């Protein structure tokens, strides 16, 4: 895993904990709060980490098109 992705995923973990904390105060159910937190954390990690990981450098795309 590339090094720049690790700090990005750390923000996803913080989002997970933050959403779970808010959800536990509102719904008073640990399993639902954990599920909400996991969904938000996974969605954040996927969206934030997929761009740098799967993006192709422009030079390769242009060279392949010629």
Whether residue 60 is predicted with pLDDT greater than 70 in this model: the reply is: no
Whether residue 64 is predicted with pLDDT greater than 80 in this model: the reply is: no
Q: What stretch of H or E contains 17?
A: helix 5-27
Whether residue 2 is predicted with pLDDT greater than 60 in this model: the reply is: no
Q: Among 34, 44, 36, 35, which residue's Cα sits nearest to residue 7?
A: 44
Q: What is the pTM of this model?
A: 0.65
Please state, in angstroms and rounded to a whole number, the distance separating the CA atoms of residues 13 and 38: 9
Convert the pLDDT of each residue in 4-59 to its tens digit.
667 777 888 888 899 899 999 998 899 999 999 999 988 888 887 776 666 666 56
Q: Which residues of 15-36 are buried (b: 16+ CB within 10 A; e: fewer)?
A: bbeebbeebbeeeeeeeebeeb
Domain ranges of the chain: 5-65
């Amino acid at each position: 895993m590339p090094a720049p992705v690790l700090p990005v995923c750390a923000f996803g973990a913080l989002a997970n904990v933050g959403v779970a904390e808010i959800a536990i105060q509102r719904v008073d159910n640990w399993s639902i709060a954990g599920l909400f937190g996991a969904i938000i954390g996974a969605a954040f990690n996927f969206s934030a980490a997929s761009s740098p990981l799967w993006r192709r450098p422009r030079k390769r795309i242009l060279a392949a098109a010629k």
